[in-house]
Amino acid sequence: MTKLVPILSAHWDEKDSFTIEAYTRNGGYKASAKALSMDPDAVIQLVKDSGLRGRGGAGFPTGMKWGFIPQGDNKDHYLVVNADESEPGTCKDTPLMMANPHVLIEGCIIASHAIRAKYAFIYIRGEVTHVVRRLNQAIEDAYKAGHLGKGIELVLHVGAGAYICGEETALLDSLEGFRGQPRLRPPFPAIAGLYARPTVVNNVESIASVPAIITNGAEWYQKYGTEKSKGMTLYSLSGHVVNPGQFEAPLGITLREILEIAGGVRSGHKLKFWTPGGSSTPLFTDAHLDIALDYEGVAAAGSMLGTKALQIFDETTCVVRAVLRWTEFYKHESCGKCTPCREGTWWLVQILRDLENGSGTEEDLAKLLDLCDNIMGRSFCALGDGATSPITSSIKYFRDEYIAHVTGKGCPFDPVASTIFSTTGAR
Amino acid sequence: MTTTQSQATEVVDMITLVIDGFEVSVPKGTLVIRAAEKLGIQIPRFCDHPLLDPVGACRQCLVDIEINGRAFPKPQASCTIPVEPGMIVKTQLTSDVAEKAQRGVMELLLINHPLDCPVCDKGGECPLQNQAMSNGQAESRFEGKKRTFEKPINLSSQVLLDRERCVLCARCTRFSEQIASDPFITLNERGALQQVGIYEEQPFESYFSGNTIQICPVGALTSATYRFRARPFDLVSTPSACEHCASGCDMRTDVRRGKTLRRLAGDDPTINEEWNCDKGRWAFKYITALDRLSQPMVRNADGELVVTSWPEAIAAAAAGLSGAKAAVLVGGRATYEDAYGYSKFARVALGTNDIDFRARPTSDEERDFLAAHVVGSSATYKDIDKADHVLLVGFEPEEESPIVFLRLNKQVKKRALKVTSIGTKLSIGVEKLGATFVKVAPGSEAAAIASQSLTAQSIILVGERASESAGALSAVAALASQSGAKFAWIPRRAGERGALEAGAIGNLLPGGRPVTDAAARVDLASAWSVESVPTHLGRSTKEIISAVNSGELSALVVGGVDPLDLDSSAETMSALKKAFVVSLEIAPSAVTERADVVLPVAAVTEKSGSFLNWTGSARAFDSAVADSLNRSDVRILSMIADALGKTISLGTVSAAAREIASLGLWDGARASFTATPARSAAPLAADEALITSWRRLLDLGTLQKGEENLAGTARQTIAVISPKRATSIGVITGDRISISNAQGSVVLPVLVEDIHDDAVWAPRNSRGSELLSKLGNAHGGVVKVVKA
């Protein structure tokens, strides 16, 4: 009955799942051996055929991205894994690397072989020191076991804690030792990426998905998912839900189905709003419970699948307060390069703060929407766009709640009620 | 805005697109924002600068674009997108989306801007102010709290930063990195708190720092010198030429009520593009210095200089020169016209070829080299652009001709131009150019030059210091003739090339006419309507000094010469004392103290004239100060000549310019050149070394007087020795060493670096390191180096 398909997460519940022994015991490093015996172009073709799409949020076909790397150009190529998972609500790569770092390493070996890279880099956010330690150990073990170091070197680079470094070109700047700020494109990383060499930048989950595709074939992968969104993926459920966590299911599952598996919204409460793919994706309400959670389904409903970070908020949550929190995050993390994001988030926070504490006006809503219109699509990178999503979508669905803040001269919610330690919530 | 320089012969792919309904064709690779300029459509912008790489940061230039019917889903930054065939661009003039996007960005830019225009230097000439008026809205909807910072903070002693006004366009940081290769400022912090900052351990000591102020599109960067001095609309601006070096920068001089307050880089794509160096920008306080000479003075019977009237002073000068055996010393700050005045004055009024513009260590080899190879020659900046290899000989571009450095740097960055430098010490500038450095002992340059291999596409840039190494210029001439490479002589001072063309040297008459060529003399005499011009080969600066001391000469006309620039300053002082001296000068100097007649002359902003840059091309300029009472040298010389009864008819600068033009270049044979052999090095004792040096851009130069903010960005005064010598005399970097000879000594902190073991380097004319006046030698002389 369950719709879950644990492939990446198949062995997460084994005590030693993160060790090379467990990984090998469960069939690990056979895919890389197989891939290394294949022609690199055949590996790329296989990944293309599987329909695997980037799991970092944009959903760009992974095989096609690999195919963009110019071949026979006598230049060094690089693989860079984006493990700078920092989006509020997104928590899939971190547990993946924690529970099974070797599948990522094996994916790196296969991808490097496919794009003819001798060096692969994993850029990981600096805050997750436990994962850094575990990955370091895993890389060391993979070297000892001879999986790495024979034509493919893997380097783990620890970031210094900037959301912007999850943007692939900012990540490359940071990896090169500069301040992380997005680069002007073109040239795209596939032509001039790390150290101005052809570079593939992939999300952790995308790369980790590759070994299973090599082992089981493209057709096997194609069986899962929907027409244009193939395969299975990790949905991360968090917030007001009974059993939060990662749920691996074929693309196209609905929130209603996942919520069922996860035990539903916390007892005595009902779903108010949720994000389909992290805070940068326009939020949904309980009216969207049956939307297919694949790239097309979510987009058709006016949002983005993003990182499949399903943050669940029940009716105790003040949407204005939640949006203010997110906006404060974007203001804090704006890199400062472009005007709309840098100045816009500075301003948005001030208006939202006024609204939340009751000193706002109804005209502020129009101003907020107009400001968002001046930021969305005007900023240098997607971070500025993302900052506007929670605001515009929350005003769309919860305008009355904003107005209630104005007319009631303050927030009508008890902030304690929405906390995990609230007596009403924990009932 | 600069225009793309393309020769008619070059085939350029043209792309046709439509902007706001108008079709326009532009070369492939042109950015949309610049294609729009071609139509006269001004898209507002801040971070965009035609000479910097696109960055797309400010987002002010958003426009709607569609290509072959496919529209971009969102407005695009027109400063980052190259044109494509079939492109249809709608700017703020025809697209509501673009118009609103621009209005929105402008509003955002202003929310954290203090709007302190009434007290801001930039108010009145501010792109933010102007574009806020043209593309923004009068009322802000922002009612919140602005970001505040302490203001201003020093990026250097000269460059001040007001972080509140900054719009974070990164023009300044990009300029420093991309153009000057001085990445000493950078953006740090993030979000709205992002700001321009300096490094803790590396000060913003860039010779080009002033350009960051000029290209700052707001009032964030201001100069300590100009801050709060004027409103732009109170200034009278005059195009001018820089008097500081031979690079030949176009400049703009801004004057308020007769006082020069500011000088800016002008826009000349063939020379300085839109840049200049900090010396050109800020070293002008000497013009308004309180001790400027303003009235003529004559030394009375008691030996005191007393103020007199002009007629008395002219009469006194004429009386002293009349019948005397006189010579002329003219410094490198003279304009082309003034130098011509001195040249004609020497020949016609004094009847001598004893004239030399070279107020510095010189050689006969150089004099002959200039006559045979340099006068009338024309290498250009474009030759650098096209060269396959540039060889630098006795020339530190960054210190001695900064715009040549910028051009080399541009080509190095753009196409990895190969640069080789033959010198005694690796300099910061040569290192920045990534040049191959050929390290030689002072005096051994000739052999290193001879061993270079060049092609007909190469160019040799030889500096004036090559004259200090016997055989170096001969080796350059030989290398050029054997390889077919071009060469150019780049003197340090602005007036030297003009003075050479004007014949202010003993072996040349104006227009490159050799003194020794009878036909050339006849040609000139007839043009001047005089019976003849002197036939003897004139003396050099050094020979003139000795001739005065030995009694062969009895009078000197001295214009713009600082005796401390000569390698025989003691002899010069005694000669000045001995001779009857007429001094034409702008400020009191060692010459004034010894002169018999002192005639004040106009500084460069107070007169018209022209300077010839190292390529031989002229930049004419008008007086920036209206109604100055000060006169150009040529006019005063003409008055003295009249008083002597030997008129030179150069009553005005324009008369001199007309006469120069009508004389033209000598079309007869050039002076011949005989190679000078290199001198072999004498053995050195263990504590002996050969001194070597050059002048830093910012040092004790006369024209830098009174500008402390500029002096604050000068490089540290240090002496450099090799590790081997350091070990042998027991010093490490930071210790002090004494450099001495029979004449004197200097004591300086030492830097142990890669320099020839036989050499010791020190700046030629920096505080504490005045080598010429203290040691009487600045290159190749034997000195004793010990721990101090």
Please name which of B363, B366, B369, B258 lies closest in space to residue B623, comparing C-alpha atoms.
B258
- Could you list the beta-strand ranges (E) of B546-679: 555-559, 580-585, 597-600, 609-612, 618-621
Instruction: Return all residues near B303 (Cβ < 8 A) that are at least 6 apart.
Output: none
Q: Check if the beta carbon of residue B580 is closer than 8 Å to that of residue B555.
A: yes
Which phi and psi angles does A312 have, rounded to 5°?
-105, 125
Q: String of b and e for B740-771 (b: at least 16 CB within 10 Å)?
A: bbeeeebebbbbbeebbebbbbbbbbbeebbb
SS (H, E, C) A153-188: EEEEEECCCCHHHHCHHHHHHHHCCCCCCCCCCCCC
Please tell me whether residue B98 adopts helix, strand or coil conformation.
helix
Chain B CB contacts of A347 below 8 Å: 108, 111, 142, 144
Chain B CB contacts of A344 below 8 Å: 108
Instruction: Return all residues near B215 (Cβ < 8 A) that are at least 6 apart.
Output: B49, B171, B172, B175, B274
Question: Measured between CB atoms, does B52 come within 8 Å of chain A?
Answer: no
pLDDT on residue B290: 86
CATH architecture of structural domain A232-314 = Roll (3.10)
pLDDT at A425 over 70: no
Contact A343 B111 (CB under 8 A): yes
Q: Check if the beta carbon of residue B472 is closer than 8 Å to that of residue B458.
A: no
> Which residue ranges of chain B lie beneath pLDDT 50?
1-8
User: B203 to chain A, minimum CA–CA distance in Å?
Assistant: 20
CA dihedral sign of residues B199, B200, B204, B205? negative
Task: Give the residue from A185, A331, A378 with the most B CB atoms within 10 Å of its CB, the best one to mutate.
Answer: A378
Burial of B722 (0-12, 13-18, 19+ CB in 10 A): buried
Q: Which residue of B has its CA nearest to A367?
A: B141
Peptide bond into A6 cis (omega under 30): no
Is the whole model's pTM more than 0.90, yes or no?
A: yes
Question: Measured between CB atoms, does B264 come within 8 Å of chain A?
Answer: no
Residues of A with CB under 8 A from a CB of B: 162, 164, 179, 184, 331-340, 342-347, 350-351, 367, 370-371, 373-375, 377-380
* Residues A83, B71: Cα–Cα separation, whole Å: 34
∠ CA A332-A337-A340 to the nearest 5 degrees?
75
Strand A78-83's sheet: what is its strand order?
A: A153-158, A119-124, A78-83, A199-203
**Among A334, A346, A378, beta carbon nearest to B59:** A378
Q: What is the pLDDT of residues A129-145, one digit of tens each?
A: 999 999 999 999 999 99
∠ CA B377-B383-B386 to the nearest 5 degrees?
160
Q: What is the pLDDT of residues A227-280, one digit of tens each?
A: 999 999 999 999 999 999 999 999 999 999 999 999 999 989 999 999 999 999
Using N-to-C axis directions, what is the helix angle for B96-111 and B127-135, rounded to 10°? 140
Question: Measured between CB atoms, does B145 come within 8 Å of chain A?
Answer: yes
* Residues A11, A198: Cα–Cα separation, whole Å: 35
Contact B187 A380 (CB under 8 A): no
What domains appear along chain B, each with residue ranges and CATH number? 12-106 (3.10.20.740), 144-286 (3.30.70.20), 295-359+494-661 (3.40.50.740), 367-490 (3.40.228.10), 686-785 (2.40.40.20)
CATH code: domain A20-220 is: 3.40.50.11540
Domain residue limits, chain A: 20-220, 232-314, 319-411
Chain A CB contacts of B57 below 8 Å: 337-339, 380
B65 forms beta bridges with: B89
Please tell me whether residue A31 adopts helix, strand or coil conformation.
helix
Q: What six digits make up the tokens of B766?
A: 């920096």
Please name which of B463, B541, B468 lies closest in space to residue B692, comparing C-alpha atoms.
B468
Chain B CB contacts of A343 below 8 Å: 108-109, 111-112, 192
pLDDT on residue A421: 77
Q: Check if the beta carbon of residue B501 is closer than 8 Å to that of residue B370.
A: no
User: DSSP state, B268?
Assistant: B
∠ CA B176-B179-B184 to the nearest 5 degrees?
20
Question: Measured between CB atoms, does B107 come within 8 Å of chain A?
Answer: yes
User: What value of ipTM does the predicted structure carry?
Assistant: 0.94
**Among A337, A374, A380, beta carbon nearest to B108:** A374
Contact B190 A373 (CB under 8 A): no
Q: Which residue of A has its CA nearest to B76?
A: A378
Query: Could you report how far apart the first and last alpha carbons of chain A are, in Å?
Result: 29
User: B36 to chain A, minimum CA–CA distance in Å?
Assistant: 20
Q: What is the mean pLDDT of residues A14-29?
A: 97
pLDDT at A51 over 80: yes
Please name which of A374, A375, A367 lies closest in space to residue A350, comparing C-alpha atoms.
A367
Q: What is the pLDDT of residues B394-418, one digit of tens each?
A: 999 999 999 999 999 999 999 999 9
User: A332 to chain B, minimum CA–CA distance in Å?
Assistant: 7
- Here the contacts of B145-152 (C-beta below 8 Å, separation 24 or greater) are B145/A350, B146/B111, B146/B112, B146/B113, B146/B114, B147/A346, B147/B112, B147/B192, B147/B193, B149/B195, B152/B222
**Among B56, B187, B190, beta carbon nearest to A334:** B190
Chain B CB contacts of A351 below 8 Å: 144
- Which H helix or E strand runs over B514? strand B513-514
Burial of B294 (0-12, 13-18, 19+ CB in 10 A): exposed
Pairing, β B195-198 against β B250-256: unpaired
Contact A184 B80 (CB under 8 A): yes
Q: What is the pLDDT of residues A192-211, one digit of tens each?
A: 999 999 999 999 999 999 99
Contact B191 A378 (CB under 8 A): no
Q: Check if the beta carbon of residue B585 is closer than 8 Å to that of residue B233.
A: no
Q: Check if the beta carbon of residue B583 is closer than 8 Å to that of residue B321.
A: no
CATH domain A319-411 topology: de novo design (two linked rop proteins) (1.20.1440)
Chain A CB contacts of B111 below 8 Å: 343, 346-347
Instruction: Return all residues near B84 (Cβ < 8 A) that are at least 6 apart.
Output: B15, B17, B67
Task: Give the residue from B108, B140, B143, B189 with the most A CB atoms within 10 Å of its CB, the best one to mutate.
Answer: B108
User: B98 to chain A, minimum CA–CA distance in Å?
Assistant: 10
